[in-house]
C-alpha cells in the first residue's frame, strides 16, 4: 500500500524549517545575493535547530531524520534563498554523507560529528579542470609515503571549500588501475599546502562560496583514507545519487518560491478591469506551473523514499534531478513573464530565483549526463 502523505515528523520538519526560513533566511536573501557574502550566521542558527546534521545518527551529532525529511528541509531553505540551500545541500550530501556512508568510527568522531553539529561546514572535491562529467579522468594524485598520504593536484568549482572544516577529495592512488585506482581522502581545513582560489563570480547562487583548490604536497595521515583504497570512484557515484536528490529538492524549492510569487501577482495585478489571472493565457501558465512543481516534488520524494529504504535509486535520482531542475528553470522563467517588468526587477525575488536555478541543470550531473544514466538503466546498453 502506498501513502502519499507526510508523516507527523516530516510535516513538523517542513513547518519548522519553513518558519525559520521565512523569519531568518528570506530577509537576508537579497543581501546575500548582491554582496556574495556567505551566510555563516544563518548556518549557526540552523545548527541550533539540529538541521546541519539532519539525516545522520544522533551518535554522530545528527538528528536521525529520514531522507524525505532531509529533502523537505533543503526544499524549504531553497524556497527562500538558493545560495543558502546549495551550501546546505553540499554540506550534508557531499561533504558529510560520504563519511557517514564509508567512514570508520574514528573518522565519524573526528570529522562527521562536528560537521553534523554545525561546528564547521563540509566540502567535497571531485571536479577538476580536466575531469567534470568524466570524473574518472581525475589527475590529482595521492602517494603513500610512510604513514602519510602526499596529495598533489587541483580541484575546481568546489562549494564551501574555503569555509569547510574538512574537504573530501578524490585522488589517483594506483595509476595503472584506471578508475579502480581512485580513492577518497579527507583533508582537514587549514592543512599546509591546501590553498584556495578567489571566489567565483557567478550568474546566480552568489552567496555560496565556490572556489578552486590547489593541493601542493599536502600531507595527511594514512588513516584519513575514506573507505577502501581504490574504491573512490564507486563511492562518489553512490554519493552523487544522494546529491542529486538534494539538487532535485532545491529545484523544487526555487520553483515553489517563484510559483507562489506568480500566483500572488496574478491575483492582485489588474489589466482591462480584472485580475490578470482571469486571462486564459496567464491562467494556463499558472496551471502548467502547478503541474510542474507537483510532479517534480513527487519524483524527488520518491527517490528520497527509495534511498531511506536502502533500495537502489540511481535511475530514480537521475529522473528526479533531471525533471526537477529543468522544470524549475521553466517555472522561474514563466514567473518572470507573468510579472512582466516587475519580474525582471531586482526589487522582486523571481529574477534571483531564475539566476539561481540555472546552475541546477549543470551541477552534480548535467542534463545530458543524466539522460545517459537514465537511458542506460532503461536499455541496459553501454
Sign of CA dihedral 89, 92, 94, 97: negative
CB 61 within 8 A of CB 112: yes
**Residues whose CB falls within 8 Å of the CB of residue 312, separated by 6 or more in sequence, listed in order:** 306
**Residues whose CB falls within 8 Å of the CB of residue 331, separated by 6 or more in sequence, listed in order:** 255, 258, 259, 289, 292, 293
Q: Which of 22, 351, 364, 368 is catalytic?
A: 364
CA distance 235 to 338: 44
Nearest to 324 by CA among 354, 360, 349, 350: 360
Nearest to 205 by CA among 326, 122, 70, 82: 82
CB 124 within 8 A of CB 168: yes
Q: How far is CA 292 from CA 40, 61, 76, 320, 330, in A?
A: 33, 36, 17, 12, 9
> How many whole angstroms from its chain centre is CA 123?
11
CB 103 within 8 A of CB 59: no
Residue 3: CA count within 13 A, CB half-sphere: 5
CA distance 289 to 352: 18
Active site residue 364: yes
Q: How far is CA 5 from CA 9, 136, 238, 298, in A?
A: 11, 40, 27, 11
B/e letters for 304-338, b = 16+ CB within 10 Å, e = fewer, are bbbbbeeeebbbbbbbbbbbbbbbbbebbbbbbeb
Nearest to 261 by CA among 29, 99, 87, 74: 29
Q: All 3 cell numbers of residue 262?
A: 506568480
CA distance 17 to 287: 27
Nearest to 94 by CA among 32, 169, 153: 169
Nearest to 328 by CA among 210, 204, 199, 241: 204
Please give the positions annotated as active site: 364
Amino acid at each position: 500500500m502506498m501513502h502519499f502523505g507526510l508523516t507527523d515528523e516530516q510535516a513538523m520538519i517542513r513547518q519548522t524549517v519553513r518558519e525559520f526560513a521565512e523569519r531568518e533566511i528570506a530577509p537576508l536573501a537579497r543581501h546575500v545575493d548582491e554582496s556574495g557574502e556567505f551566510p555563516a550566521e544563518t548556518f549557526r542558527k540552523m545548527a541550533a535547530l539540529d538541521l546541519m546534521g539532519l539525516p545522520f545518527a544522533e551518535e554522530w551529532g545528527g538528528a536521525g531524520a529520514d531522507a524525505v525529511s532531509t529533502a523537505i528541509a533543503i526544499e524549504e531553505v531553497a524556497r527562500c534563498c538558493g545560495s543558502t540551500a546549495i551550501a546546505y545541500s553540499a554540506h550534508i550530501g557531499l561533504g558529510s554523507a560520504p563519511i557517514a556512508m564509508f567512514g570508520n568510527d574514528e573518522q565519524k568522531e573526528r570529522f562527521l560529528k562536528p560537521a553534523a553539529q554545525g561546528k564547521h561546514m563540509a566540502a567535497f572535491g571531485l571536479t577538476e579542470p580536466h575531469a567534470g562529467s568524466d570524473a574518472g579522468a581525475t589527475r590529482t594524485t595521492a602517494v603513500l609515503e610512510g604513514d602519510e598520504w602526499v596529495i598533489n593536484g587541483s580541484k575546481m568549482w568546489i562549494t564551501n571549500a574555503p569555509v569547510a572544516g574538512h574537504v573530501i577529495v578524490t585522488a589517483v592512488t594506483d595509476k595503472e588501475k584506471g578508475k579502480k585506482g581512485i580513492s577518497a581522502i579527507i583533508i582537514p581545513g587549514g592543512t599546509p599546502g591546501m590553498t584556495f582560489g578567489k571566489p567565483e563570480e557567478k550568474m546566480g547562487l552568489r552567496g555560496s562560496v565556490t572556489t578552486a583548490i590547489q593541493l601542493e604536497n599536502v600531507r595527511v595521515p594514512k588513516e584519513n583514507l575514506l573507505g577502501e583504497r581504490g574504491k573512490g570512484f564507486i563511492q562518489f557515484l553512490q554519493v552523487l545519487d544522494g546529491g542529486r536528490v538534494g539538487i532535485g529538492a532545491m529545484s523544487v524549492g526555487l520553483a515553489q518560491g517563484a510559483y507562489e510569487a506568480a500566483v500572488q501577482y496574478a491575483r492582485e495585478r489588474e489589466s482591462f478591469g480584472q485580475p490578470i489571472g482571469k486571462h486564459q493565457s496567464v491562467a494556463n501558465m499558472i496551471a502548467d506551473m502547478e503541474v510542474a512543481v507537483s510532479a517534480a516534488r513527487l519524483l524527488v520524494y520518491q527517490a528520497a523514499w527509495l534511498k531511506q529504504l536502502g533500495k537502489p535509486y540511481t535511475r530514480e535520482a537521475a529522473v528526479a534531478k533531471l525533471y526537477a531542475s529543468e522544470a524549475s528553470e521553466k517555472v522561474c522563467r514563466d514567473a518572470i513573464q507573468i510579472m512582466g517588468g516587475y519580474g525582471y526587477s531586482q526589487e522582486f525575488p523571481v529574477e534571483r530565483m531564475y539566476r539561481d536555478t540555472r546552475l541546477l541543470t549543470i551541477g552534480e550531473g548535467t542534463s545530458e549526463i543524466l539522460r545517459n544514466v537514465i537511458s542506460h538503466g532503461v536499455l541496459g546498453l553501454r
